[in-house]
Amino acid sequence: MLFARPLAELIAELEKLPGVGPKSAQRLAYHLLRVPEHEANSLASAIRNAKQRLRFCAQCQNISEAELCEICRDGRRDRSTIAIVAEPRDIAALERVHEYRGAYHVLHGLLNPMEGVGPEQLRVKELLTRLGDGEVHEVILATNPTIEGDATALYLAKLLKPIGIKVTRLAHGMPIGGELDYADSATLLSALEYRREM
Ligand SMILES: [Zn+2]
C-alpha cells in the first residue's frame, strides 16, 4: 500500500472536489497533515457547519441560513422584478454591480438534455408558484450566454410570456460563452441596462 489508510482516505475525499486532480489531492493532504491540529479542525467544522446550517431560501432558492435569505428579507428590494440565475454564485456577481435592486430566483442548473437535466430537475416549479400571486411584472433571464444558458432562457420565455409577464434577457455585452461569475461589473451593468425583451 502506497499510503497509510487514513491518508489514502483523505486523498480520495479531496480528489472528489472540482478541479482537484490526484496530484493536487496529495499535495493538499500532506499540507493538512502539516498544519496545527486546531487549523485542520476548524476546516472540518466549517464544512460541517455549512452543511448543517445552510439551506435553500424558501422563496428564491438562494443559499440561506434562515427560512428566507437576506435579499428576500430586505424590504427595500423591488419584488416586482426577478432576475433568474443558474447558480447562487451568480447572485453574488449581480450584487457586485450595486445597480440591481430587484429579487432573484436560482434555478440550480441549466437545461442540458444530454446530461439528463430537464425542467423537472431545475427549480422551475418553485418559480411558477412565486409568479402566481401577480406581484411580479418583469422577469430578467440572467443565465450565461452559453448553449445551455440560451436554451434555458428560451424555454422560460415560452413558459412565462403567456402568463402576461414581461420577459427580458441580459444584453449580449457579455462575452459569448462567458460566465456571469467572471464578467466584470461594468460589463454586467451594461448587459443589465441594455437587456432586451424576448
Ligand atoms: Zn431568497
Residue listed under C-alpha cell 482537484: 20
DSSP per position, the chain: --S-HHHHHHHHHHHTSTT--HHHHHHHHHHHHHS-HHHHHHHHHHHHHHHHH-EE-TTT--EESSSS-HHHH-TTSEEEEEEEESSHHHHHHHHTTS---EEEEE-SS--BGGGTB-GGGTTHHHHHHHHTTS---EEEE---SSHHHHHHHHHHHHHHGGGT-EEEE--TTSPTT--GGGS-HHHHHHHHHT-EE-
Task: List all residues 6 or more positions away from 120 whose beta carbon is below 8 Å from its beta carbon.
Answer: none
* Ligand 1 centre distance from Cα of residue 92 (Å): 13
Distance in Å, CA 2 to ligand 1 centroid: 47
Residue 122: per-residue pLDDT: 96
Ligand 1 center–CA 188 separation, angstroms? 21
Give the span between the Cα atoms of 17 and 92, in whole angstroms. Answer: 22
Gap from CA of 53 to ligand 1 centroid (Å): 15
Grid coordinates representing 72 are 428576500
Please list the pLDDT of the chain residue by residue as tens digits (198 residues).
688 999 999 999 999 999 999 999 999 999 999 999 999 999 999 999 999 999 999 999 999 999 999 999 999 999 999 999 999 999 998 998 888 999 999 999 999 989 899 999 999 999 999 998 889 999 999 998 889 999 999 999 999 999 889 999 987 655 555 677 767 777 788 788 778 888
Q: What is the pLDDT of residue 133?
A: 83
pLDDT at 176: 55
What are 197's strand-pairing partners? Answer: 168
Render 90-111 in DSSP notation, one character per residue.
HHHHHHTTS---EEEEE-SS--
Residues 6+ apart with CB under 8 A from 145: 170, 172, 174, 175, 176, 177, 178
Q: Which residue's entry shows cell 445551455?
A: 148
pLDDT at 175: 58
Instruction: Please give the distance, rounded to the nearest whole angstrom, from the Cα atom of residue 21 to the centre of ligand 1.
Output: 34
**Ligand 1: distance of its center to the CA of 19 in Å?**
29
pLDDT at 4: 93
Quote the pLDDT of residue 51.
Answer: 94
CB burial of 135-147 (b: ≥16 within 10 Å; e: otherwise) equals: ebebbbbbbbbee
Q: How far is the CA of 105 from the centre of ligand 1 (A)?
A: 8
Ligand 1 center–CA 71 separation, angstroms: 6
Distance 127 CA to ligand 1 centre (A): 12
